[in-house]
Amino acid sequence: MCSVCLRCGPSCVSVLAVHEPSPWALWQFRAMIVCVNPSSWPVLDYADYGCYCGKGGSGTPVDDLDRCCQVHDYCYSDSMQHEDCWGIFDNPYTEIYSYQCDRASKTVTCKENNNPCEMFICECDRKAAMCFDKAGYNPEHAHLPSEHC
C-alpha cells in the first residue's frame, strides 16, 4: 500500500482541466489513474480524447470513456458551487487533497483528513479514475476533431 499526500501552490490543476496544468496536480490525478489502471498512460490516453477528455468539452460524448470525462467535468463544476468550497482557494484546479492507493486491489480511497471541499474534489477524481479503468479505450476517438462532437 502506498499513500500520497501532496501540497503545492495555487497553480495546481487536473489533467482534464481547462486551465494550464501544474506538474504537481497533474501528478496527483495521474497517480490515481495509474493506481487503478497501471498499464495506462494518462497524459497520452486522456488529454485529448473524444469530446470531453482534455481542455474544454462540448457536444455528445462519443463513448463510455468520453462520458467519464464529461461526468468529471460536471463534478468539477459542481465543486465550484459546493457550500464547503470557498472561492479561488478551493478551486478544483488548485485544490490538493490526500488519498491512498492500494496497488494490490487497484483501489483509491480519499482520506478522512480531507476537509469537506477536498473530499468532494478527491471523490470527483477517484470516480473518474475508476470510470476510466472500466471504460474501453478506442484509438479512433483520440485527437477527435471538434466537428464530430
Residue ranges of the binding site: 52, 54, 56, 73
Active-site residue among 45, 66, 90, 125?
125
At 72, list the grid cell.
Answer: 468529471
8 A C-beta contact, residue 66 and residue 141: yes
Can you tell me the distance from the alpha carbon of 110 to that of 99, in angstroms, rounded to the nearest whole number?
Answer: 4
* Gyration radius from the chain CA atoms: 14
Neighbours of 131 (CB within 10 A): 17
Active-site residue among 45, 72, 90, 141?
72
- Considering Cα of 134, then 139, then 142, then 145, what sign does the dihedral take? negative
5-to-52, 79, 131 alpha-carbon distances in Å: 27, 20, 22
Active site residue 125: yes
Residue numbering of the annotated binding site for Ca(2+): 52, 54, 56, 73
The separation between CA 93 and the C-alpha centre of its own chain, rounded to angstroms, equals: 10
8 A C-beta contact, residue 43 and residue 15: yes
Active site residue 64: no
Which positions are catalytic?
72, 125
